Amino acid sequence: MSCTDYQLQDIKPEWKNAPVLEFADGPFVVIMWDKRYKDPSDPTREYTRNHLAILRIEDGRIQGIWD
């Protein structure tokens, strides 16, 4: 997936998809979201998948991100 696959949106003060888990240890922050998808074999059903991001924060700025 490339950055052109996303639609630009205004930044708002509330979460569009709030994380279900978040924690930090030292410079590392872990955030996890549940995402719901249509079942490709049966569009009347959905399944939930987790999306995880790990960030390294230094001097108040994101210095690395893995997802």
Cα separation of 42 and 28, whole Å?
A: 39
pTM listed for this prediction = 0.65
State pLDDT tens for residues 20-40.
999 999 999 999 999 889 998
- Measured over the CA atoms of residue 46, residue 19, residue 17 and residue 5, the dihedral's sign is negative
pLDDT of residue 65: 93
User: Residue 57 burial by CB count (10 A; 0-12/13-18/19+): exposed, middle or buried?
Assistant: middle
Cα separation of 31 and 52, whole Å?
A: 6
Residue in this structure with the two tokens 């003060």, named with its chain if needed = 13
pLDDT of residue 43: 87
